[in-house]
Structure formats: structure tokens, C-alpha cells
A = this chain, B = another copy of it.
Amino acid sequence: MRGRRAVGVPELVAGARDGDARSVARLISLVEDGGPAVREVAAALAPHAGRAHVVGLTGPPGVGKSTTTTALVRAHRRAGRRVGVLAVDPSSPFSGGALLGDRVRMGDHAGDPGVYIRSMATRGHLGGLAWGTPQALRVLDAAGCDVVLVETVGVGQSELEIASLADTTLVLLAPGMGDGVQAAKAGILEVADVLVVNQADRDGADRTVRDLRAMTALGGRGDGAWRPPICATVAVREADNGIDVVLEATAAHRRWLDASGEGHRRRTGRAAREIEAIALTGLRERMAAVRGSAALHALAQRVAAGATDPFSAADALLAQV
């Protein structure tokens, strides 16, 4: 691995744009590591990103997110689209950093150059989503993916985070396990652009769809607002699984994003949160470095001796940490 690091970031970005899967994987590793190279990668990617449709999938564990992701990949590939998958769900068979495992799981796409699959470690600062996820999205975007699917677990804050990363957020539910009322309580309906009731061949599916329809009708929405469509799927089936309806709903949402200006607003808001997070992390690291540092002690000696004043010492300290 160390030897391969000799390949520079510009070469990796050029390779990724040419469709080289190893370059894509190396770039994602670099941004996931969070080392100093992340800055160089981000700078090199900036001009080449912003084209892909980022689609988030969230929902409670067991609802069939991985199966749905697989079905979506298959459908997109049939339509000739290049697809990226970022799995940031620790319960997902995609996750754990095992790219080999990913390929096994996504068996029929193992040798397909039009699909990039990647798990992200969830050790990041943004709760369930890894710190490097926005950068990894940019890698896949710059590599020419038409669609990037981001799969995360719908627990705690992560559904809000995925909504802050994605252009379009799919919220998956299943009959009986997460009925509409519970979903509403958990706040995940608010982030849904498209609602998917998976395992729709199970008992209670109709009721779940009915509940969701009633709830989405309740929300006071203005003219031209997006009302989340509700799709029933059986993602595990090879055919007649309802996935095409999800694709249509997702495409319709993207058209609405473009036409309404909401897409631009979301992307700008996402960039602002990312910049803010990076700036605040830098400042927090400096605050931690200030406390109890050897530099502070040396400067305190000088202030106590009257050799300098505390404001100049604070400036000197901040210049050092």
C-alpha cells in the first residue's frame, strides 16, 4: 500500500475521471483517512463534481435497505447509468470497509465497470455518517457517476444527516415493523422526498400505505411544494418489484428540484454546513491544543516575569497551535 501512495492526487483524479476503479477506491481511502491529503483531493475534485444525482436511502434496520439498494443499482444499470454506492450503515452487509465483501454481496455487478461500491467507516464526526462522506460523494461524482446511492441506518440523527447530504431522500418502511405513526414520531417523514413501503407483499402493507398517505396529506404545503409520493416495493423480487416506480418518483423529484430552485438551495445549504463543520473542527482542535500545552506554560512564565502581556501571549499561543 505504501508504495502505491507514490501515485499523486492529480494522477488519481485523472484516473478516476477515466473510469479507473482503483483510482476511485484510492481517492475514497484518502478522504476517509482524513489526513492532510484530503485537502488536496478536495481541491482537485471541486471543478469536476456537482453533476451526479445524490439519492439517500434511510429507514429502520431490517426494512430492506440493502436489498432495495441492490435493486436500484440493477435498474439504473439497465438504463445505462453509471452508479456509485456509499454504504454508511453499520448493519449493512455492504459496510465494514470490506470492498471484497461488497463485491460478493453485489454479485452480479462484481465485474461491472459502471458500478462503484464503497462502505464508509462510521467513526466520523457527523454521528452516523462518516466525516469523509461528502468528499467520497464528490469522488464518485467526479468519476462520472450519474447516480450515487447513499445508504445509512435510520437510527438517531443519521436520517437528518443523510437528508443534509442527498438531493433526494428515500425513506424506507416495512409493514408492521415501523408503521406510519411511529415513523412520524421519529421525524423521518419530514426528511422524506420519496416514501417506499418495502416488503409490500406482507400483511398490513395496504394499511401502512394508507397511514402514510393520510399523514403526507395532512402537512400544510404551499403551491408548487413537493408532496412525497408513496411507492410500494418488493425489492427482493427479480422482476415486478415496484422499483421502476421508485426510479420514476426519484427522477420526478430531481426535475422538481431543478425547476423550483430547491435543488440549488439544498446544494448551497449542504456546502455551507460542510464549510462550517470544517471551520469549527479546526477551531475546536485549536481550543483543545491551547489547554494545558507546554507552549502555554512557557508563555505564562514570561507573563509572570513581566516580559510580555497576556494578550500578546495569547496571540503567540494561537500562532503555535
Q: Which one of A170-178, A203-211, A247-255, A292-300 is at the interface?
A: A292-300
Question: A18 in the interface, Cβ–Cβ < 8 Å?
Answer: no
Q: Is the CB of B43 within 8 A of A311?
A: yes
A104 on interface, CB distance cutoff 8 Å: no
Give the number of copies in the complex.
2
| Shortest CB distance A28–B (Å) | 16
Q: Is A83 an interface residue (CB 8 A)?
A: no
B296 and A276: CB pair below 8 A?
A: yes
A260-281 Cβ-contact flags toward B at 8 Å (1 or 0): 0000100111111011101110
- Given A275-B300, A283-B318, A297-B268 in contact, is the A134-B305 Cβ separation under 8 Å? no
A111 at the interface (CB under 8 A from B): no
A42 at the interface (CB under 8 A from B): yes
B47:A306 contact, CB within 8 angstroms: yes
**Chain B residues with CB below 8 A from A47, complex form:** 306-307
A186 within 8 A of B: no
- Which residues in B have their C-beta under 8 angstroms from that of A182? none
From known contacts A46-B303, A287-B280, A309-B43, infer whether A296 and B314 are also in contact, taking CB-CB under 8 Å: no
CA gap between A275 and B298 in the complex, in Å: 11
Cβ-closest 5 pairs across A and B: A272-B300, A271-B303, A42-B309, A278-B314, A271-B300
